[in-house]
Chain A
Amino acid sequence: MNNALSVALRMTLGLAATSAVLATSSAAFAADPIRIGVIAEAQAIAGASIPQAAQLAADEINASGGVDGRKIEIVSYDNHSSSADSVRAFQRAVNEDKVNAVIASYISEVVLALEPWASRLKTPFVTPGAASNEISKSVHADYAKNKYTFHGYLTSAALALSVCDAAKDLLVEKMHMKSAVIMSEDAAWTKPLDVGYEECLPKIGLKVLDHIRFSPDTTDFTPIFNKIEGSKPDVIITGISHVGVQPTVQWKNQQVPIPMFGISSQATNETFGKDTNQAAEGVLYQGVSGPGVAVTPKSVPFAENFKKKFGNYPSYAGYTAYDEVYYIADAVKRAGSTDADKLVDALEKTDWEGTIGRVQFYGKDDPFTHSIKYGKGLITGLMLQWQDGKQSAVWPKEVAKVDIKFPSFIKLSN
């Protein structure tokens, strides 16, 4: 029995080894592929879109001939939302799977853990969805060491600005709201976000009455909503990503009469409607793109192709991951090489119209070095609302399709 087993085992191992040898030798005949490692939270709503979108981009690039005849190959790893798993995946991607660049994670804690590894292993690394200011601040602080890291999504500071810009037009000018309570989860990305909110909300005319930070493990939000209602704000400004379904469903079930407006990462994914049994109705959230929203001519075709292939529209990190594969490919083409330092130089000169706007990176002397630029003509973000089971853009007015409307339990004070 044992003998038979070991023979079977050896045969399998042998077969695997032979096919590995065959695979490497056949690869050597064609031009070497450009390998991009994708490390993401395959089991989380926001993270699941990352490897799928990256693969979609690679397939499209390969179908049109690749980059100077070289194919793009995506090697993906599930990190189970864990920093330790991500670090191991990063090491494996670079040392064993020989990737030329890495796209990883929407969680700031994970990205901050990977950043030193990008420096040590000298591998260009872009995050499609983490927000903490610290990611690009570290690049600024020690450029020579940390220049391999790029922040392919808005920093928390920029996110707060985007929410405030939208709130000024929608809430203050249109609905005459005057006060707000900030409700955010306790995580690395919300610390700078909350600082940004505290600073910009009063400037646009929303007085901050209270500021509630809660543990991401919270399951019962009744006491939190209760406390918020007690201070009678016109709006709840959210900063949530690790939680999303539970506060949204409880907000509806308890008929909390105050609208929610801000960052709600899980709400960016189409499956959020089903996960909350449509309790998401009326939720306003910041996004970089959305189904049917033509931020650029590339946005809608990407979202539709993604849905055709995977059955649902991508989360926010899907849009950014898709763009990242394209601009990494573009950088390889311009650099004429996959050499890490040349690739970093080329990535810094990125000027790419993607699905979320025009992507350029802040330079060495800006405080947020290697973060994507925020502003008109570049990336401004959008405000979307769940309406009739769908995500619809309500801001800025160039792309807005509908007006804001709320479920009947929301009582607007003005």
Chain B
Amino acid sequence: MRVFQILIDGFAISALYALGATGFTLIFGVSGVLNLSHGAIMVAAAVAAWAAASVLNVGTYAGALIGVGVALLTAFATYFAVVKPIQASRRIPNEEKEIFVLTGTLLWGIMIQEVIAYFFTNNAKTVLPIVEGVVEILGVRTPKNEIFTAIVCCLVIALLWLLVNRTRTGKAVLAASMNPRGVTLLGLELTNIYIVVWAIYGILAGIAGVLLGMFLGVSSYSVGPLTASAFSIVVLGGLGSVSGSLIAAFVVGYLETLTAYLVSPAYRTIPALLLLVFVMYIRPQGLLGRR
């Protein structure tokens, strides 16, 4: 009974982590940007979906769409207002640009967090689930919303895989992650590829944020922990490796769930962080990292 409970709960959480981390790692793989405003974009999506559905009464589906739309806009704003100017700047030496992007996106994330807290308070908000009610699976009372979350996450990740591996645009993105100079030599505009990647990222982070808002709820306080969890999953899986992130998401998700059920919910995140430190010692490039 408890085994099934852990299996089911762990799967939903892990799938959500996977979706959140995929976009994060994709951006890094293609453009070398570690976007530390990731958590803020997810929270913005969830809070927008909540506000649209509960304050403006536009309905659950429209609310969810607005949430994803807001994440897309915020992702573009992050790229055009923060990342691109730093990358294009001649006054910042090239070797320091990464650290500038890191700091810039971190500050940008804090700004978004403060704006959310100012307008919507720092108390948690929850997005009205698209499907309500519970079903019994193997004797475990499972909210239908939890199953919905897991299915949507898997579907979106599958779609992303198809996009990257089976379409022309996707192949260009893939190529850019392997050899940016080669892609430009083939006559593809690198900036266009970056815009596509940021668009994909915005949609992924938006869906993950809205689903998280339905499943557990988020507040402006979630910004830091969400960025940190995506970051540690991506580092564990190997920076830039999408499949590594997927595996790492499930390792972290199940480790956390096991700890919460078998030890105490208070220590939930500790074993995963210890594992991260351990992996850094024996395999600094992460589980499936290339460098």
A interface residue numbers (CB < 8 A to B) = 43-45, 48, 81, 186, 213-215, 217-224, 226, 243-246, 249-250, 253-255, 266, 271, 274-277, 279
B128 touches A255 (CB 8 A): no
Contacts of B129 in A (CB 8 A): 253
Known: A44-B122, A44-B123, A279-B126. A223 touches B217 (CB 8 A): no
Query: Sorted from nearest, which 6 A-B pairs have the closest CB atoms?
Result: A245-B124, A223-B260, A249-B126, A246-B217, A277-B128, A45-B123
Contacts of B55 in A (CB 8 A): 274
Contacts of A246 in B (CB 8 A): 124, 126, 216-217
B121 touches A48 (CB 8 A): yes
Please report the C-alpha to C-alpha distance between residue A276 and residue B129 in the assembled complex, in whole angstroms.
11
Please report the C-alpha to C-alpha distance between residue A244 and residue B222 in the assembled complex, in whole angstroms.
15
Instruction: A43-B117, A219-B217 given; name 6 further pairs at CB < 8 Å.
Output: A44-B122, A223-B257, A226-B5, A245-B124, A250-B216, A279-B126
CB contact list, B110-165 vs A, under 8 A: 117-118, 121-129, 132-134, 141, 143, 145
Contacts of B5 in A (CB 8 A): 226
A244 touches B123 (CB 8 A): yes
Smallest CB gap from A47: residue in B: B121
Please report the C-alpha to C-alpha distance between residue A74 and residue B193 in the assembled complex, in whole angstroms.
55
Contacts of A218 in B (CB 8 A): 265-266, 268
A186 touches B121 (CB 8 A): no
Chain B interface residue count, CB cutoff 8 Å, equals 36
Smallest CB gap from B119: residue in A: A43
CB distance from B121 to the nearest CB of A (A): 5
Please report the C-alpha to C-alpha distance between residue A93 and residue B204 in the assembled complex, in whole angstroms.
46
Across the interface, B216 reaches (CB within 8 A) one of A81, A220, A266, namely A220
Smallest CB gap from B145: residue in A: A253
CB distance from A47 to the nearest CB of B (A): 9
A255 touches B134 (CB 8 A): yes
Across the interface, A214 reaches (CB within 8 A) one of B9, B13, B125, B266, namely B266
Known: A219-B217, A255-B134, A277-B128. A245 touches B123 (CB 8 A): yes
A277 touches B261 (CB 8 A): no
Please report the C-alpha to C-alpha distance between residue A213 and residue B142 in the assembled complex, in whole angstroms.
24
Contacts of A244 in B (CB 8 A): 123-124
B225 is an interface residue with CB less than 8 A from chain A: yes
Contacts of B225 in A (CB 8 A): 217, 219
CB distance from A318 to the nearest CB of B (A): 14
Please report the C-alpha to C-alpha distance between residue A45 and residue B55 in the assembled complex, in whole angstroms.
16
B123 touches A275 (CB 8 A): yes
Contacts of B31 in A (CB 8 A): none
Across the interface, A275 reaches (CB within 8 A) one of B53, B117, B126, B133, namely B126
CB distance from B245 to the nearest CB of A (A): 21
Smallest CB gap from B9: residue in A: A222
Contacts of A275 in B (CB 8 A): 54, 123-126
Smallest CB gap from A46: residue in B: B123
Contacts of B123 in A (CB 8 A): 44-45, 244-245, 266, 275
Please report the C-alpha to C-alpha distance between residue A275 and residue B55 in the assembled complex, in whole angstroms.
10
Known: A44-B123, A275-B125. A249 touches B217 (CB 8 A): yes
CB distance from B270 to the nearest CB of A (A): 11
21 A-B residue contacts at CB 8 Å? Answer: A44-B121, A213-B266, A214-B265, A215-B265, A218-B268, A219-B222, A221-B265, A223-B257, A223-B261, A224-B265, A245-B124, A245-B125, A246-B126, A254-B134, A254-B143, A266-B123, A274-B54, A275-B123, A277-B127, A277-B128, A279-B126
CB contact list, B268-287 vs A, under 8 A: 268
